[in-house]
Amino acid sequence: MRKTGLSLFAFFLLLTISACTKEERFEKAFFEIGYQEVDQALMDSKQHYKRDIALPIRIPPIAFTHSFGRFADLEGYEDDHLEITYLNQNNEENHYKIVIRPIEYKSLLGEDKIDKVFTLNDGNEALFSETALEGFNTLAFEKNGWQYVLMLDHNAAKHASELLLDIANSVRD
């Protein structure tokens, strides 16, 4: 009896160590390519641009295990942007990303890539595309001097355009 209990304890201990190691490897891979905690990336962006950035209050109603952020301070101001990524390490389809950059350096969606044009609650236009970025539904809009591009994996949710529109409308002035 005692031997069985000890064996079970050792088994569960090894499972826990294995799970932690897998999770640590997953996180380390993102940290190695410049990602960090979302709050730190947001603070770095605010310091760089010297103005506030409002994040959407809502996120997709799907399960995420991790969130990462990074401020890309690349050569030339026009390529700088804040990127926030939500992932599920157990389900790669649960992937949602936000890219925010100043309007004056916005990225443009090709006219042929725009599937729908929506009007946000504040009257601004939001452009929806299923093909602008392979594997993702994309919604681009402008607010408070920023361009926001929301990207949701094609397989993550049904009615992606409505979902992304609700998220876009949750960005405060």
Shared-domain flag, residues 12 and 43: no
Question: Same domain, yes or no, for 75 and 17?
Answer: no
Same domain, 6 and 72: no
Residues 148 and 86 in one domain: yes
What is this structure's pTM? Answer: 0.84
Contact 96, 79 (CB under 8 A): no
Q: Is 148 exposed, middle or buried (0-12, 13-18, 19+ CB in 10 A)?
A: buried
Summarised one tens digit per residue, pLDDT across range 80-138 is 999 999 999 999 899 999 999 999 999 888 888 999 999 999 999 999 999 888 889 99
Task: For residue 11, give the 3-state DSSP assignment.
Answer: helix
| Residue 10 and residue 41 in one domain | no
* Residue with the larger pLDDT of the pair 16 and 83: 83
Rounded Cα gap, residues 146 and 47, in angstroms = 15
Task: Identify whether residues 78 and 1 lie together within a single domain.
Answer: no
